[in-house]
Amino acid sequence: MPKLCDTKNELHKVLKVKTQCLTSLRASPFTKKKSTHQQINKMYQIIDGKKISEDIKLEIAAEVAEFVAKGGKKPCLAAILVGNDGGSETYVAHKVKACEQVGFDSVLIRFPETVSEIEIIEKVKEINNDNKIDGLIVQLPLPKHISEEKIIETINPEKDVDGFHPINVGRMLAGMPCYVSATPFGIMELLRRFKIETAGKHCVVVGRSNIVGRPMSILLSQKGNPGDATVTVCHSRTKNLAEITKTADILIAAMGKPDFITGEMVKNGAVVIDVGTTRVSSAETKSGWKLKGDVIFNEVAPKCSYITPVPGGVGPMTIVSLLGNTLKAAKREIYA
C-alpha cells in the first residue's frame, strides 16, 4: 500500500500542475496592467478558474486517496449523453477525463438522438438501483421529444450530483444540505477563494435559467460568506437593462448571448463573472470554432476590479464542482 504522501506526489504529476499558494496566485502573473486604460482603472485581476480548478482537483484527489486508503469505495460518476451535439460531447469528455484525474471511476452511457423517453427513464432507474454508481448526470439539452423535467425527476435525489432535481433545488432554497448546481457552486467558490466581498453588495444576475441564473441569485442572497448580497435578477423582458447592470458591484452574465455585455453597461470597479460559453465559428482555431463569453472582455476588463476570462474562468469550475458533489455522494455527506 503506498503511503498517502507518495500517492499525493503521483497525483501532482498526473495533474501536471505546480502547487502554488493562493497568495502567489493573487499576485503578479494574473494581474494585468493595461496602459491604454490606466485612467479608468489601473489594474484588474483575472479570476483564473483554470488554476483554481486545478488546485481543487488536487484537494479532491487527496481526499479520494484518503477515503480509499481507509477502506472506502472509489467514487463513481455515471453520465448519460444523448445524440452527437458537439458542445455536449466536449463537456462530457471533460467530465470523464476529470474523473480519471482525481481517481474516480466513471461510466459513460450513450444513446442515439432517436432514443425514446422511456428508454432513458429505464436506464436512469437502473442506475438509481446500482450500488456501484454514486452520482448520475444526464447531459442537457436533450432532444425535443424528451422531457428534461421527467428525466430529472426520475433521478434519485441522492445521486443527483447536478443538483437539478426539485428535491435538491427545494433544499437549496431552504438552506438545507443538498447538491448545488455545479456552475453556481463553482462561481461561489471563486468568490470565496478570491475573498471577494459580497455582503451588502448589489449583485446583478443577467439570466434566469434553472441551471445558472436562478440558483445563483438564491445563493448570493442567502446568509453566509459569500452571500448576504442584495440581488437583482434580469432577463430577456427586463426594461432598461443597462441602467440596472451599471449599478452592479458584482455582475453575473449568464444569458448565453455572446458579446452582450459592453463596457458601457458596467460600473467602474465592478466584479464581472462571465458564464457564457457559446461556440462560434473561428478561422483562428484548428477545430474551426472557439468559445465566446457573454462579455466583451476587451471593453469591460479595464473597468473591472476582477473579471473571469472565457475560456478558463467559470467553465473549469463547473467540472470540479461536479467532482465535489460526486465525492460528497460517495461519502454520503448530504443524505446519510
Q: Is 159 a catalytic residue?
A: no
DSSP string for residues in 210-256: TTTHHHHHHHHHSSSSS---EEEEE-TT-SSHHHHHTT-SEEEE-S-
CB 186 within 8 A of CB 206: no
CB nearer ligand GUN, residue 183 or residue 326 = 183
- Three-class secondary structure of residue 149 per DSSP: helix
Q: Are 182 and 314 in contact (CB under 8 A)?
A: no
- Output helix, strand, coil percentages for the chain, rounded to the nearest 5: 45, 15, 40
Question: CA-to-CA distance for 39 and 35, rounded, in angstroms?
Answer: 8
What is the length of the chain? 336
Here the cell at position 232 is 437583482
Q: Which H, E and C letters describe 257-291, residue by residue?
A: CCCCECHHHCCCCEEEEECCCEEEECCCCCCCEEE
What is the closest distance, in whole angstroms, from the C-beta atom of residue 140 to ligand GUN in the complex?
4
Question: Between 137 and 203, whose beta carbon lies closer to ligand GUN?
Answer: 137
Under rule CB under 6 A, residue 82 binds ligand GUN: no
Residue 85 among the catalytic residues: no
Q: Is 189 in the site for ligand GUN (CB under 6 A)?
A: no
Instruction: Tell the smallest beta-carbon distance from residue 329 to ligand GUN (Å).
Output: 15
Please identify, among the stretches 103-111, 137-145, 255-263, 288-296, the one whose residues bind ligand GUN according to the rule CB under 6 A: 137-145
Integer angstrom CA distances of residue 209 from 5, 254, 278, 334: 42, 8, 15, 24
The count of chain residues that interact with ligand GUN, using the rule CB under 6 A, is: 9
55 near ligand GUN, judged by CB under 6 A: no
Position 211 contacts ligand GUN (CB under 6 A): yes
Q: Is 151 in the site for ligand GUN (CB under 6 A)?
A: no
Does residue 140 belong to the site contacting ligand GUN (CB under 6 A)? yes
Sole binder of ligand GUN in the list 45, 106, 139, 198 (CB under 6 A):
139
Catalytic residue among 55, 57, 123, 139: 139
Q: Which of 77, 99, 124, 138 binds ligand GUN (CB under 6 A)?
A: 138
Whether 95 sits among the annotated catalytic residues: the reply is yes
Q: Which of 46/314 has CB closer to ligand GUN? A: 314
137 binds ligand GUN (CB under 6 A): yes
Q: What is the C-alpha separation between 50 and 59, in angstroms, rounded?
A: 14
Which residues contribute to the site for ligand GUN (CB under 6 A)? 137-140, 162, 182-183, 211, 318
Q: Which residues are catalytic?
A: 95, 139, 162
